[in-house]
Structure 1
Amino acid sequence: MGSPFGPHQARRQERLSLPTKRAALISPGDVIGYDGEWRTVKEASTAQGPMGGLAVVVTWEEGGTARFPAGDELLLKGADVD
C-alpha cells in the first residue's frame, strides 16, 4: 500500500466532453445534470456540510433541493445538449 501523503493517480483519466462548474460557483439559471436528468438552478445558498465543510444548497426550478460539497464539479448543460 502506498503512502497516503505521496502522489496519487487522478480519479478521471480523460476529460469530459461536457463543461463542469464547481458547486460553489453555480448561480440561478444554470442547468446542471443531477440524478439522471437536467435541472435548472432556481436558488443557491451556502450551508455547513455534515463534516463541517462548506456546502451549497440548490433549489431547483422543477421542485426540490439538493446539497453538494462546495468543491464538487457539477455537469453543465451545453447549448448543443438535449
Structure 2
Amino acid sequence: MGGPFDPHPPRRRQRLSHPTKCAVLVGAGDVIGYEGVWRTVKEARTDRGPMGGLAVVVTWEEGGTTRFPAGDELLLKQPEPE
C-alpha cells in the first residue's frame, strides 16, 4: 500500500454486476454476498463498534451473526423466488 501522499489509484469505471447497499440500510430479506457465499438477512440492528462508531449487526437466516461498520457497502442480489 502506498504512502499517505502518494497519488490515489484510478476509480473503477465499470459497473458492478450486482447492486450494493450501505450497511446501515440493510433489512430482513436482503441477500448479501459475504465471505464468498450468498446469505439472507434475518435481522439487522444498530450497535456501537469497538472504536465507538456506529455498526450494524446482521443475523443470518443460515445461522450466526456478523458486525459491519455502518458505512460499508455490501454486495446484494435479488432473493430467489419461492
- Answer whether TM exceeds 0.5 for this pair: yes
Matched AA of 2:23: A
Runs of 4+ aligned residues of structure 1 deviating over 3 Å after TM superposition are: 7-10
> 2:27 aligns to what?
27
> 2:77 aligns to what?
77
TM-score, structure 1 normalization: 0.80
Query: Could you report, residue by residue, the CA deviation over 1:9-59 in whole angstroms, capped at 9, with x for unpaired residues?
Result: 56x513312100000000000000011100000000000011111000000
Instruction: Give the aligned length.
Output: 77
> 1:56 aligns to what?
56
TM-score, structure 2 normalization: 0.80
Provide the aligned C-alpha RMSD in A. Answer: 2.3
**CA–CA distance in 2 between the matches of 1:74 and 1:50?**
20
Where does the alignment leave 5 or more consecutive residues of structure 2 unmatched? none
